[in-house]
Chain A
């Protein structure tokens, strides 16, 4: 790993921490404010790629584990890793990796804007929502013994908000690709 990759990982981890500190943002066309931190998985994968994106999340989780309040609402500490939602935390790392992997395959600088946007959206949906929910619900189903299916039904309520976040992350990732492309130079 070059020093530049290490710095990019650390800077993106700092952005993820920042996303948890700022107050929820309103979108204009819907009245419910959205919390920004869960968008980080999609942003990390789409902007700095699979390996660096996943490592940025490993770093954030490490900071959480050693007792820094890095999650939204000032949460942190080992307790979160011991709770029923720990699967989602693990899902962030895998989700960022899969998002990055897909974005690296689907998007390149020579494509038209539409295709890039579509590529980022597919990557965000599969990695940022699919993989994160899969990990989260597998753990939830294991902890509670209520079965994977019922766990999934319970988390459906969060899907509309996450689809919206995938949309925002897609547009942001595409704008960053135009302004300062990092995805093509893989770690």
Chain B
């Protein structure tokens, strides 16, 4: 159903700690916006492209993952070319593509649990201020993963009900029962969570 975009592998980029990867991405995304010289942007783009293609993703998969966003960049680049000239458009394309490739490389080499550990660490300051509990994030995430298949089951049932009555699926006759049926479970689930003392209240 919701399969992670992580790809098994043992490249040096796989072994790099998540924190280092995320800080690199953040630094790159800020730094590259101050650079518009193609002498820097093109080599950066080529480097990230090599990095991304060296991760062991099959070619189709590798292009499929960034295809949509590359298309969006192409449209934006065409508009920039029209309004601001060719140099600006090329700089924008290489800058954004480099960032997208680096980000896609991080997504492909980091497991969900590694990300979650990092998120818990990042949320510590907020927890200390008493604004939220880091453990709640993992709980909520687990609930979503648990309930998406449930909602899809419900969707199938509602479709069956439509078919049995010879009705076409319409947004309103689908969403309204689906949303009410799903949210009605909230009380029972909340009670179950509290009864087990997951949140230690």
Residues of A within 8 A of B (CB): 1-4, 6-15, 17-18, 21-22, 25-28, 34, 36, 43, 47-48, 59, 62-63, 65-70, 73, 75-85, 140, 143-147, 150, 154, 168, 171-172, 175-176, 179-180, 182
Contact = CB atoms under 8 A, between A and B. Distances in A.
Given A8-B183, A11-B183, A18 B155 contact: yes
Main secondary structure of the interface of B (DSSP, over half): helix
A45 B93 CA distance: 35
A12 B147 CA distance: 10
A43 B179 contact: yes
A8 B147 CA distance: 12
Interface residues of B, number: 72
Contact of B144 (A4, A34, A59): A59
Given A67-B107, A70-B2, A175 B137 contact: no
Main secondary structure of the interface of A (DSSP, over half): helix
Given A2-B190, A65-B115, 10 more contacts: A3-B190, A11-B183, A17-B148, A77-B5, A79-B66, A79-B69, A82-B100, A145-B92, A146-B84, A168-B172
A146 B77 CA distance: 10
Given A7-B189, A18-B155, A172-B172, A150 B79 contact: yes
A9 B185 CA distance: 12
A82 B103 contact: yes
A18 B153 CA distance: 11
A147 to B, nearest CB: 8
B140 A59 contact: yes
Contacts of A47: 179, 183
A73 B170 CA distance: 20
Given A144-B76, A145-B84, A78 B107 contact: yes
Contact of B96 (A63, A143, A146): A143
